[in-house]
Amino acid sequence: MSTAARGTRVLVLNSGSSSVKYQLIDMADEQRLASGVVERIGEPGGAADHTEALRTVAVELGGRGLGLDSPELAAVGHRVVHGGTRFTAPTLITDEVLAGIEELVPLAPLHNPANVTGIRVARELRPDLPQVAVFDTAFHATLPEAAARYAIDTATADRYGIRRYGFHGTSHAYVSRATAALLGRDPADVNVIVLHLGNGASASAVRGGVCVDTSMGLTPLEGLVMGTRSGDLDPAVVFHLQRVGGMGTDEIDRLLNKRSGLLGLCGDNDMREIGRRMAEGDKAAQLAFDVYVHRLRRYVGAFTAVLGRVDAIAFTAGVGENSAAVRGAALFGLDSLGVTMDPVRNAVRGHAARLVSADSSRVAVAVVPTDEELEIARDTYALAAAPQGG
Ligand code: AMP
């Protein structure tokens, strides 16, 4: 009972390549005190770099009496995209840990550099404060080798760290637990397929709270069709683009990550706009939707087989939470798998976790809003700031 001076607030920082998102959460009641985003880092009119962006965050919070210098602040939690095989749980950041995260940059060249910069600047601003790295890959560290291994030469794979790591782990962890809570059951007794459908998209198979398969791989490029990423394709497509198309590695990287997926198929990456165009009979938008849904159904089928028994399918993130059309099409006609939607429930909009399956459905279908920031804050607080024992 001697921790009177310890604060209960956690600042969650999500430093992307061109933006820094932040939330300040009071862990005493898990209330959000502030949230915001500093965008267009490095672009005209935006912050010059991540240092300036984080200083902007500090000024915005300070202006609301919630400054980084507040004694109420207990810790800073950082979203870090790639933890490799080394970081399989939230980790208190030290110089050595930061160096370890930097060493993983070759595995996540689009993401980890910004995470590293965010950590470095936050530590400069508050060197005394515990800072915790929460990894997007960590929830998938439990994947059995059969699911994590690619069928390539083992020595080559091991030498370059090539395996399936999976991403969106904080969301899959949060949503699989929240789904069990919605069903009024212990997560340890429930098998869930989580479909995280945002601008990035991934599926995971969670058996009794433990992740056993996931659609993203070495990088977030594999798996489902996404806003701008292709998801699964024959790796020989890359050789073909090099040999026949004369394209370079970086050009192909950009093509598959930034100009593919829904955007590549129809010129729009926003499912709302695609819905509007489909209603007007737009063929390209319809094709994009159909390819997206077809891939989703393949993963639902595959993960049903992986799990053997499925208790729930949970839709989350921007598309999953909002698009009744995607949910309905993805699970249409799967009664033989025990999945029966209730079209009326599915069409009702809402912000709370809810069931959209029929009462007769053996598999519960749920819409479960994700909250990655809260999950990061919980992990951070548990590790850095909770009162230590008696
Ligand atoms: P997220 O990455 O989770 O923020 O999801 C962003 C994506 O969610 C957007 O690109 C849209 O495609 C999709 N989205 C957001 N709101 C809606 C909506 N009302 N209906 C359909 N899709 C939506």
**136, 213, 268, 282: the active-site residue:** 136
Categorize the per-residue pLDDT at 51 as very low, low, confident or very high, splitting at 50, 70 and 90: confident
Which DSSP category does 218 fall into?
S
Instruction: Tokens for 265, please give them.
Output: 């198929």
Give the pLDDT of residue 2: 38
Q: At what angle do helices 236-243 and 249-258 cross, to 10 degrees?
A: 130
The model's pLDDT over 86-127, given as tens digits with 9 standing for 90+, comes to: 999 999 999 999 999 999 999 988 889 999 999 999 999 899
The alpha carbon dihedral of 117, 388, 87, 94 has a sign of positive
The model's pLDDT over 5-25, given as tens digits with 9 standing for 90+, comes to: 579 999 999 988 888 999 999
Cα separation, 7 vs 120, in Å, equals 22
β-strand partners of 362: none
Domains in the chain with CATH codes: 3-135 (3.30.420.40), 184-372 (3.30.420.40)
Alpha carbon nearest to ligand 1 atom 9, residue: 270
The residue type of 381 is Y
The model's pLDDT over 311-331, given as tens digits with 9 standing for 90+, comes to: 999 999 999 999 999 999 999
Other beta carbons less than 10 A from residue 244's beta carbon: 8
Report pTM: 0.95
CA angle 308, 310, 316 (to 5 degrees): 135
If one residue of 319, 326, 348, 351 were mutated to test the ligand 1 pocket, choosing by the most ligand atoms within 8 A of its CB, it would be 319
If one residue of 199, 278, 315 were mutated to test the ligand 1 pocket, choosing by the most ligand atoms within 8 A of its CB, it would be 199
Residue pair 236/307 in contact by the 8 Å Cβ criterion: no
